[in-house]
Chains A and B, each alone.
Chain A
Amino acid sequence: MHLRLERLAFVLAACVLSAAVGSCGVTTSKEDTAGGVTIRLLTHDSFALSDGLLASFTDETGITVEIIQGGDAGTVVNQAILTNGNPQADVLFGIDSTFLTRALEENLFLPYRASAIDDVDAALQLDPDHRVTPIDYGDVCLNYDKAYFADQGVPVPERLADLTRPIYRDLLVVENPATSSPGLAFLLATIAVFGPEDWQGWWSEMHANGVRVASGWEEAYYGQFSGGAGSEGTRPLVVSYASSPAAEVIYADPPIAEAPTGVITDGCYRQVEGAGILAGTEHEAEAGMLIDFLLSPEVQADVPTSMFVYPVRRGVAVPSVFLDVAVRPERVAALAPAQISSHRDEWIDAWTDLVLR
């Protein structure tokens, strides 16, 4: 018995060892793809592309792309600022207006005029000097639990201003803008909607009306919200994305025709995401080709179903599975990057004093 156990333990140990040796082959094989260049794309955790798209880029150009996902959008930009001049990657994807000004002030990116940049609407352009190229956009919006409002006979709120009414008491959960990117976007939306003078008044009324704050999107959507699949909470209103109902349908199991959640189209905040070539790269030309690729019709048509955002390029067909359920708010709020950059910390502090104290 003892002997057998010991032998088993040694066999296990041998497996561990051989697996370790085996992995050497796996990890190094990536480096030498027929003499082609390997470049790195630093991006946030939500970045995704459909299977095979990147491989087609490699087939066409001989350039291999390694993707590094370093956290949420803010963390990734901060990593790039920390390593400015000697970057860990060649291209950064995922910078939005919230962090744009600081990144530009730090001279994080090299200018590059993408070949398809003229096919992008002026309203979606991020930088006149083309240091950051817009790739996609999405809206942070309030989502609601359809079943709750139907069952309770309560009208779905139409405007942010409605939410301070007593019938909506204890119904909303938001993310902390200090630690969450959608949380910050929603705070900016309220500042854009109510104006720099009055936004605090709305939040203190919401505080009195029982708004709940979660640390991040996951804690809000799964921990406090009631509407999504897998949601464990009781609150029927949450700060999420305009495309969240589409994700509920696309990832439903078994398939469903209609999303269990809906979008309130007032008070949405538009985030345009861009990509830039990191200063200090040794592969500037290849990095430019990757940016062109991100703006190519193939990738642009893929972003709706892989990242649940809209392509910035005109004339790109959005898949119908997405169009049928996704909501595109007509009026969206946005603030100028410079304004965000100079007031962000002060706004977050003021918000914290109002809502969390």
Chain B
Amino acid sequence: MHGQISFCGDPVRIRTRALLLAIPAAFLGLLFVWPVLNIVGEGLRGDGRWDLSGVSAVVGDRDLRRVAWFTLWQATASTAITLLVALPAAHVLATHEFRGRRTVQALITVPFVLPTVVVAAAFLALLGPRGPLGVDLADSVWAILIAHVFFNHAVVVRTVGGVWEGLDPRVEDAARVLGASRWRAIREVTFPALRPAIASAAVITFLFTFTSFGVVRILGGPRHSTLEVEIYRQTADLLNLPVASVLALLQLVAVGGLLVIQDRLERRRVSVGVRMTSSRRRPVRAPWERVWLFGNLGLMAVLLVLPLAVLAERSFRTGSGHGLAPWRALADTSRTSGLFVAPIEAVANSLRYAAVATVVAVVVGGLAAAALGTARGRLARALDAALVLPLGTSAVTVGFGFLIALDQPIDLRANPWLVPLAQALVALPFVVRTMTPVLRSIDGRLREAAAMLGASPSRVWREIDFPLVRRAVLVATGFAFAISLGEFGATTVIARADAPTVPIAIDRLLGRPGALNVSQAFALSVVLMVMTATAILAVDRVRGRDPVSDGRGWL
């Protein structure tokens, strides 16, 4: 890869990289690998002997085989429908310029970072027996599929759109001039350039829907179950760890396989040429373009904005119409209903926790990205994939793993710091994958020249890399913040009652009858929505000036 004066094998460089990797590896080891090994080990050899009864129990169980099959096909169907709906949206947002485009782009990203408790409540209202659409889809597979499109739409739009806006439209124009039909130009010029990005987005969507929990449990009713839901049931409801461990391993293998596929696709994508130095969005002119634009915006409004609007409307509902009472009650400690603090305090908690989580994720992720940005070996790629594994692992596996793994030498289990650390674990892959491509794009010769001139590795980082990655750091900060705000997984196992986060407060409020409880839950959902939207909007403002879009989406 380098010439004679290669620094790749330089012991100093290797040692620096090893040092950089030590903290991310330790972080992942302590908060993910160790807890998961513990809980899976407890299931497979609880009495000190290997007990593989779980394997035969899983293989022999007709219900579990059906669960595995349903997991697979609903993920496939969800991915296909998401692509079908989101690719036109990606086209509109990547190639057209219109007023409010950036706001639309930020708004449609909000669903991705919202916790399922919030969204499922809106969908229960929207798709339930008295929903405004007039169809009762509750408990049906359609409710699951629609919610999956809602959550993952942004994955496709951002991943594919990032590449699409970098494509030179003149190439497609040239094909048209040479006599190709519009369809043929798209098929033979644009599509091949987009194919790796589409495949990558499809893999990520498949990953998220394959491991879907809240949507399936709340909207799918008692007849639909995924591996993730079954892992939760076997662990939290039944404490049947032998079976839960086998299922967790099964899911881990599947997710690992998906990440390998994605890694292959990613490497292929680098070779795609036709890139621009700045995007060339065109204003909408022709009438059919107008129809296409408004058609797509309309679809996004129904699919993405309507559920959010339902949340907002419900937050103003009172027993006798609409009013501000639920919002006023947020600050009221005398009628807190099952929360130990005024609901509004959950907002402060969430901000605090998310701030700590963001700092941790950006520091740890930044170190990992710095190491991965200069390394290209198999080990580096393995770590890159390993950082995403927590996203594909059942939260209850990690959460219950915490309970038996983090008790020594200091008992971290009820430590308030564990909450932001768990959130950081979820935000970490987004940070690493935002920053690594930017660091990779830095010309290695620049670093080498600096090193040759006697700059220490830390000085090279400070004076060459940092100015270039500053923006990537800001983008990663915004994303990590939004994702930490919405995290509702492992936190539920370790949360302390005196400091609930917003998603947990919403969950508690929705667990009780009474008008105030429901409308306060919706009011808190709106608060969460606004906080995450603000973070995403800030991210897009910063990223919008990026001369070369990284084209990688964020995962």
Give the contact stretch, choosing among A81-89, A118-126, A128-136, A201-209.
Answer: A81-89
Q: Which residues of B contact A217 (CB under 8 A)?
A: 511
Within 8 A of B (CB), among A204-241: 213-219, 221-224, 226, 228-230, 232-235, 240
Q: Which of these, B131, B359, B513, B514, contacts A16 with CB under 8 Å?
A: B359
B185–chain A nearest beta-carbon distance, Å? 35
> Which of B75-83, B285-293, B315-323, B435-443 is near enough to bind chain A?
B315-323
Closest B residue to A184 by beta carbon equals: B237
Instruction: Give per-residue flags for B384-424: 1 if the beta carbon is below 8 A from chain A beta carbons, else 0.
Output: 00000000000000001001100100010110110000000
State in angstroms the CA–CA spacing of A23 and B352 once bound together.
Answer: 6
Cβ-defined contact, B222 with A253, below 8 A: no
- Tell me the bound Cα distance from A5 to B356 in angstroms: 24
Q: With A82-B239, A178-B237 known to touch, is A66 a contact of B510 (CB < 8 Å)?
A: no
B497 within 8 A of A: yes
Name the residue of chain B whose CB is nearest to the CB of A41.
B497
The 8 A CB mask of A251-262 against B (1 = contact, 0 = none) is 111101000000
Instruction: Please state if B222 and A179 are interface contacts (CB–CB under 8 Å).
Output: yes
Given the interface contacts A9-B542, A68-B496, A71-B493, does A228 sit within 8 Å of B338 by beta carbon? no
Question: Bound state CA distance, A88 and B131, in angstroms?
Answer: 43
* Bitwise interface map of A from 179 to 204 toward B, beta carbon under 8 Å scored 1, else 0: 10000000000000000000000000
Asked if B217 contacts A228 (CB within 8 A), the reply is no
B355 within 8 A of A: yes
Residue A79 CB within 8 A of the other chain: yes
CA distance A176 to B413 in the complex (A): 31
Interface digits, B331-346 against A, CB 8 Å rule (1 contact, 0 not)? 0011111111000000
Known interface pairs A71-B236, A71-B493; A88-B125 also in contact (CB < 8 Å): no
**Are A20 and B356 within 8 A (Cβ)?**
yes
Among residues of B, the one whose C-beta sits closest to the C-beta of A2 is B545
Interface code A81-114, partner B: CB below 8 Å = 1, 0 otherwise? Answer: 1110010110000000000000000000000000
Select from chain B the residue with minimum beta-carbon distance to A80: B403
Nearest-Cβ distance from residue A129 to partner chain B, whole angstroms: 23
A349 vs B202: C-alpha distance in the bound complex, in angstroms? 37
Verify B541–A5 contact, CB threshold 8 A.
yes
* CB nearest to A255 among chain B residues: B319
In the assembled complex, A150 has its CB within 8 A of some CB on chain B: no
Q: Are A251 and B516 in contact (CB under 8 A)?
A: yes
CB of A19 within 8 A of chain B?
Answer: yes
* Cβ of A316 under 8 Å from chain B: no
Q: Which of B356, B511, B545 contacts A46 (CB 8 A)?
A: B511
Bound CA span A214–B220, Å: 9
Residues of A within 8 A of B221 (CB): 213-215, 219
Query: Does the CB pair A75–B513 fall under 8 Å?
Result: no
Contacts of A71 in B (CB 8 A): 236, 492-493
How many residues of A are counted as interface, with CB atoms below 8 angstroms from the partner's CB atoms?
76
CB distance B497 to A68 under 8 Å?
A: yes
Given contacts A5-B542, A88-B403, A88-B411, contact A79 B233 (CB under 8 A): no
Q: How far is the CA of A86 from the CA of B138 in the complex (A)?
A: 42
Contact of A78 with B by CB under 8 A: yes
Q: Is the CB of B403 within 8 A of A79?
A: yes
| Residue of B whose beta carbon sits closest to that of A10 | B474
With a cutoff of 8 Å between Cβ atoms, the chain A residues found around residue B492 in the complex are: 70-71
B463-495 CB contact bits vs A (8 Å, 1 = yes)?
000000000001001000100000000001111
- Does the CB pair B496–A48 fall under 8 Å? no
Interface residues of B in 113-153 (CB under 8 A from A): 121, 124-125, 128-131, 138-139
**Contact of A297 with B by CB under 8 A:** no
User: What is the CA–CA distance of A23 and B356 in the complex, to the nearest angstrom?
Assistant: 8
Is B497's CB under 8 angstroms from A67's CB?
yes
Residues of B near A250 (CB, < 8 A) are: 514
| B residues near A48, Cβ cutoff 8 Å | 336-340
Residues in chain B near residue A8, CB distance under 8 A? 538
Residues of A within 8 A of B223 (CB): 356
A228 to B510, CA, bound (A): 12
Interchain CB contact under 8 A, A215 and B222: yes
Determine the distance from Cα of A233 to Cα of B239 in the docked complex, in whole angstroms.
33
Say which residue of B325, B477, B496 sits within 8 Å of A13 (CB atoms): B477
Residue of A nearest to B403 (CB): A83
Selected contact of A252 from candidates B333, B340, B355, B516, CB within 8 Å: B516
- CB contacts (< 8 Å) of A214 on chain B: these are 139, 221-222
The answer on a CB contact under 8 Å between B131 and A232 is yes
Q: Is A47 part of the binding interface, using a Cβ–Cβ cutoff of 8 Å?
A: yes
Tell me the minimal C-beta distance from A52 to chain B in angstroms: 10
CB-nearest residue of chain B to A227: B513
Query: Is B508 engaged at the interface, CB distance under 8 Å to the other chain?
Result: yes
User: Is A229 within 8 A of B514, CB to CB?
Assistant: yes
Q: With an 8 A cutoff between CB atoms, is A336 at the interface?
A: no
Which of B121, B355, B496 is in CB contact (< 8 Å) with A67?
B496
A74 CB-CB contact with B under 8 Å:
yes
Q: How far is the CB of A74 from chain B (nearest CB, A)?
A: 6
The answer to whether A223 and B128 have CB atoms under 8 Å apart is: yes
B515 within 8 A of A: yes
Q: Does A285 contact B (CB under 8 A)?
A: no
- Does B511 contact A256, Cβ atoms closer than 8 Å? no
Contact between chains at A179 and B124 (CB < 8 Å): no
Q: Tell yes or no: B351 within 8 A of A by CB.
A: yes
Task: Determine the chain A residues whose CB is within 8 A of the CB of B236 once the complex forms.
Answer: 71, 74-75, 78
**Cα separation A9 to B411 with both chains bound (whole Å):** 37
Q: Inside 8 A of B97's CB, which chain A residues have their CB?
A: none
Contacts of B515 in A (CB 8 A): 229-230, 248, 251-253
- Whole-angstrom distance between the Cβ of B220 and the nearest chain A Cβ: 8
B403 to chain A, nearest CB (A): 5
**Chain A hits for B516, CB < 8 A:** 251-253
| A154 part of interface (Cβ distance < 8 Å) | no
Knowing A45-B511, A88-B403, say if A78 contacts B237 (CB, 8 Å).
Answer: yes
**Chain A residues near B161 (CB-CB < 8 A):** none
A26 in contact with B124 given A69-B497, A247-B512, A253-B515 (CB within 8 Å): no
Give the shortest distance, in Å, between A67 (CB) and chain B (any CB): 4
A345 closest partner in B (C-beta): B238
Chain A residue numbers with a CB within 8 Å of B351 are 19
Q: How far is the CA of A254 from the CA of B317 in the complex (A)?
A: 11
**Residue pair B400, A222 in contact (C-beta under 8 Å):** no
Specify which chain B residues have a CB less than 8 angstroms from the CB of A229 in the assembled complex: 319, 513-515, 518
Min distance, Cβ A62 to any Cβ of chain B, angstroms: 18
Q: Does A40 contact B (CB under 8 A)?
A: yes
Q: Does B242 touch A at the CB level, under 8 Å?
A: no
**B519 interfacial contact with A, CB 8 Å:** yes
The interface residues of chain A lying within 8 Å CB-to-CB of B237 are 74-75, 78, 178-179
CB-defined contacts of B545 to chain A, threshold 8 Å: 2, 5
Chain A, 23-75, CB within 8 A of any chain B CB: 23, 26-27, 30, 40, 43, 45-49, 51, 66-71, 74-75
* B358 at the binding interface (Cβ < 8 Å): yes
Within 8 A of B (CB), among A304-330: 306, 308
Q: Kindly state whether residue B507 has any CB partner on chain A within 8 Å.
A: yes
A218 touches B510 (CB 8 A): yes
Does B551 touch A at the CB level, under 8 Å?
no
Q: Which residues of B contact A43 (CB under 8 A)?
A: 497
- With a cutoff of 8 Å between Cβ atoms, the chain A residues found around residue B404 in the complex are 82-83
B138 touches A224 (CB 8 A): yes
A199 to chain B, nearest CB (A): 19
Residue of A nearest to B407 (CB): A86
| Docked complex Cα distance between A244 and B411 (Å) | 39
A66 to B513, CA, bound (A): 26
Q: Which 7 A-B pairs have the closest CB atoms?
A: A251-B514, A230-B518, A229-B515, A67-B497, A19-B355, A23-B352, A176-B222
Some 18 contacts from A to B, beta carbons below 8 A apart, are: A9-B474, A9-B542, A13-B474, A17-B359, A45-B338, A48-B337, A67-B498, A68-B495, A82-B42, A88-B407, A178-B237, A179-B233, A214-B139, A217-B511, A229-B515, A232-B125, A233-B130, A253-B519
Kindly list 13 other residue pairs between chains A and B, CB separation below 8 angstroms, not including A68-B497, A230-B317, A230-B514: A19-B355, A20-B352, A27-B416, A46-B338, A47-B497, A49-B340, A68-B496, A70-B492, A219-B218, A230-B518, A250-B514, A251-B335, A254-B325
